[in-house]
C-alpha cells in the first residue's frame, strides 16, 4: 500500500469485477449500435482503458477536457471546454465515461454541450458516484460504486495530479493535506 494511503475503499479486484459487470450491461444495451465512448480527461483514462477492453463490441473512443470550475481563471463558476472531441458525433451513440460524479456540474455542462450536437443517443457511465454532494441533477445510466462524502484518489483520480496510478481507490492520511497538498481549490472539495 502507498505510504500516504489511510484506507483502501475499493480494491483493484473489486473494481475489476464491477467494471466487468458494467461492461456486460453496456455490451447488451449497445449490441446493435456502435457507441462512441467519450472519456472525460484526465481522471477517466484508467476506467475507460479497462472498460473498453471489457467490451466485446465495436466501439470508438474520443476525449474531452474541461477546466475545473474551481480554477480562479473561471470566476464565472462555469467550466470551460479545454479540449473538444476530435470527430463529429452527430448521429452517433455517445456514452460519456466519467471517473467520479461529485457535484454533477462537470457532467451537467458536458451533457448540455453534447446535447446540442444532434447525437442519436446520450448516456453516462460513471465509475464512482458521490450522491451526497450533488448540486445539479444528472442522470447516470451506469454506476460502478457509490462512495461517501470524502476525497478519494487512485484509479485515475488525483490530488494535485498525484496518485492517479494507484490500482485501487483510497483515502489519504490527514498529514498529506497538512504537507500542503490541498484538495482542488474548489472550496466544495476541501475536507
Which positions are catalytic?
102
In whole angstroms, how close is the CB of 18 to ligand IMP at the nearest point? 17
In whole angstroms, how close is the CB of 57 to ligand IMP at the nearest point? 25
Q: Which is nearer to ligand IMP, 106 or 123 (CB)?
A: 106
- One residue of 47, 104, 124, 155 binding ligand IMP per CB under 6 A: 104
CA 146 from chain centre, in angstroms, equals 13
Q: Which is nearer to ligand IMP, 50 or 99 (CB)?
A: 99
Kindly tell me the number of DSSP H helices and DSSP E strands found in the chain: 4, 9
Q: Taking CB under 6 A as the criterion, which residues in 21-80 touch ligand IMP?
A: 40, 43
Sequence-ordered list of residues with C-beta below 8 angstroms from that of 172, at least 6 positions apart, any chain? 4, 5, 6, 151, 153, 159, 163
In whole angstroms, how close is the CB of 111 to ligand IMP at the nearest point? 12
Residue 19 contacts ligand IMP per CB under 6 A: no
Q: Which is nearer to ligand IMP, 43 or 144 (CB)?
A: 43
Q: Residue 138: name the closest of 153, 150, 123, 148 by CA.
A: 123
Residue 99 contacts ligand IMP per CB under 6 A: yes
Residue 96 contacts ligand IMP per CB under 6 A: no
Residue 152 contacts ligand IMP per CB under 6 A: yes
Q: Which is nearer to ligand IMP, 50 or 102 (CB)?
A: 102
Alpha helical stretches, state H, the chain: 12-29, 45-53, 105-115, 174-178
- One residue of 9, 38, 89, 101 binding ligand IMP per CB under 6 A: 101
Cis peptide leading into residue 23 (ω within 30°): no
Residue 124 contacts ligand IMP per CB under 6 A: no
Cα-based angle 167, 70, 15 (whole degrees, multiple of 5): 20
Whole-Å CA distances, 42 to 4, 22, 110, 158, 163 = 21, 21, 14, 9, 12
Q: What are phi and psi of 134, to 5 degrees?
A: -65, 135
Q: Which is nearer to ligand IMP, 14 or 68 (CB)?
A: 68
**Which residues of this protein are in contact with ligand IMP, per CB under 6 A?**
40, 43, 98-107, 151-153, 157, 189
Amino acid at each position: 500500500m502507498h505510504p500516504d494511503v489511510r484506507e483502501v475503499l475499493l480494491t483493484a479486484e473489486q473494481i475489476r469485477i464491477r467494471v466487468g459487470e458494467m461492461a456486460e450491461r453496456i455490451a447488451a444495451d449497445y449490441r446493435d449500435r456502435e457507441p462512441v465512448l467519450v472519456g472525460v480527461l484526465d481522471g477517466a483514462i484508467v476506467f475507460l482503458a479497462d472498460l473498453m477492453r471489457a467490451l466485446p463490441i465495436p466501439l470508438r473512443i474520443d476525449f474531452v477536457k474541461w477546466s475545473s470550475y474551481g480554477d480562479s481563471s473561471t470566476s464565472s463558476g462555469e467550466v470551460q471546454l479545454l479540449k473538444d472531441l476530435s470527430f463529429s458525433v452527430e448521429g452517433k451513440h455517445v456514452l460519456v465515461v466519467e471517473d467520479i460524479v461529485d457535484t454533477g456540474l462537470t457532467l451537467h455542462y458536458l451533457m448540455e454541450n453534447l446535447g446540442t450536437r444532434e447525437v442519436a443517443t446520450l448516456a453516462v457511465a460513471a465509475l464512482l458516484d458521490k450522491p451526497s454532494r450533488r448540486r445539479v441533477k444528472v442522470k447516470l445510466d451506469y454506476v460502478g460504486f457509490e462512495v461517501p462524502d470524502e476525497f478519494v484518489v487512485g484509479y485515475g483520480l488525483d490530488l494535485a495530479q498525484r496518485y492517479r496510478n494507484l490500482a485501487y481507490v483510497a483515502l489519504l492520511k490527514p498529514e498529506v493535506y497538512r504537507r500542503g497538498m490541498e484538495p482542488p481549490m474548489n472550496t466544495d472539495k476541501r475536507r
